[in-house]
């Protein structure tokens, strides 16, 4: 049996240092080969998707499964095939088209990014990582993902699936911390292949491995290309003993109420009176709190006379 991969004494060297990539060498080939054979055919992975298609998918896929994203993604790209097309519409139209994907502030952020791309970069999604990171609504993960998946660059792309694969295969624990840590970032850099093309492929492959095989529950170790090297498996798959993992409760929460209120506004062709919103939730205090939150987040625009609409500016 192959010994589990060992962490180096330090993984905090600068990007591109000789120590980077060495740790992950036994993992790269089997994971990338597995990906070549088993990767899902997703529209944002096709060459015609371009950088804009990749960016749209990354916004939509945050905390949302692929099955729910696919139809909305296709409709979105058909309507707004370039950032300038979206930038030319009111932000409320982005919220409307977002439908029931959840976390609708992502729609406003994507609209804001489209406006900035149009104004600063002539309507083309930039390839430079720093320029991507400077766009509104773009954080560390999304900038790295777009640079890697759309432009084939060498960046550590750390989503929940990747973090879980690294936690198990290298660190030997069942789950990563609730929030990404500096140690995880150092580990991701240490695992990153030196070759740019291989690094981009590794980023996509390790993410797909976490999505399809090294899942949060009912993991399929018998299908894993690096099962023999997995530190967690070799340790007997010990149960998680860290802080409780955050659940994804929805029923009865303010998030559910916000969704119901937004649904009314999305389906309306004009401003909506308060009475129409009051009908969707029985508890007035929670309903008012949810509506106030939507207004504060810029997702709903209040008008004189107790009317509400999706934002126009």
The set of catalytic residues is: 58
Angle (CA) 12 154 64, round 5°: 95
Could you please report the per-residue DSSP string of 1-49? Answer: -PPPP---S---PPTT-TTTTTTTHHHHHHHHHHHHHH----GGGSGGG
Residue 173: which of 228, 230, 224 has the closest Cα? 230
- 122 conformational bin, left if phi > 0, alpha if psi -120 to 50, beta if neither: left
Point out which residues pair with 301 in neighbouring strands.
309
What CA–CA distances, in Å, run from 85 to 118, 171, 203, 212? 9, 45, 30, 34
Rounded to an integer, what distance in angstroms lies between the CA atom of residue 212 and that of residue 226?
14
């Amino acid at each position: 049996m192959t010994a589990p991969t060992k962490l180096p004494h330090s993984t905090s060297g600068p990007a591109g240092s000789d120590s980077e990539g060495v740790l992950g060498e036994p993992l790269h080939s089997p994971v990338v080969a597995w990906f070549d054979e088993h990767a899902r055919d997703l529209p944002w992975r096709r060459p015609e998707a371009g950088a804009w298609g990749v960016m749209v998918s990354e916004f939509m896929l945050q905390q949302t499964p692929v099955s729910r994203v696919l139809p909305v993604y296709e409709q979105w790209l058909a309507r707004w095939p370039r950032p300038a097309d979206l930038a030319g519409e009111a932000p409320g139209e982005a919220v409307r088209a977002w439908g029931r994907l959840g976390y609708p502030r992502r729609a406003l952020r994507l609209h804001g990014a489209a406006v900035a791309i149009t104004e600063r970069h002539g309507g083309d999604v930039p390839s430079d990582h720093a320029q991507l990171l400077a766009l509104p609504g773009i954080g560390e993960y999304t900038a790295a993902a777009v640079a890697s998946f759309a432009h084939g660059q060498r960046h550590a792309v750390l989503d929940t699936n990747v973090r879980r694969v690294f936690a198990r295969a290298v660190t030997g624990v069942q789950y990563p911390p609730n929030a990404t840590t500096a140690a995880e970032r150092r580990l991701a850099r240490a695992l990153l292949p030196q070759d740019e093309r291989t690094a981009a492929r590794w980023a996509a492959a390790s993410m797909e491995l976490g999505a399809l095989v090294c899942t949060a529950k009912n993991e399929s170790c018998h299908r894993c290309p690096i099962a023999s090297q997995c530190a967690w498996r070799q340790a007997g798959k010990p149960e998680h003993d860290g802080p409780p993992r955050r659940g994804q409760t929805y029923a009865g929460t303010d998030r559910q109420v916000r969704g119901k209120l937004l649904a009314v506004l999305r389906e309306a062709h004009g401003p909506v009176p308060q009475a129409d919103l009051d009908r969707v939730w029985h508890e007035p205090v929670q309903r008012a709190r949810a509506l106030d939150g939507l207004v504060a987040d810029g997702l709903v625009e209040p008008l004189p006379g107790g009317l509400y609409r999706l934002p126009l500016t």
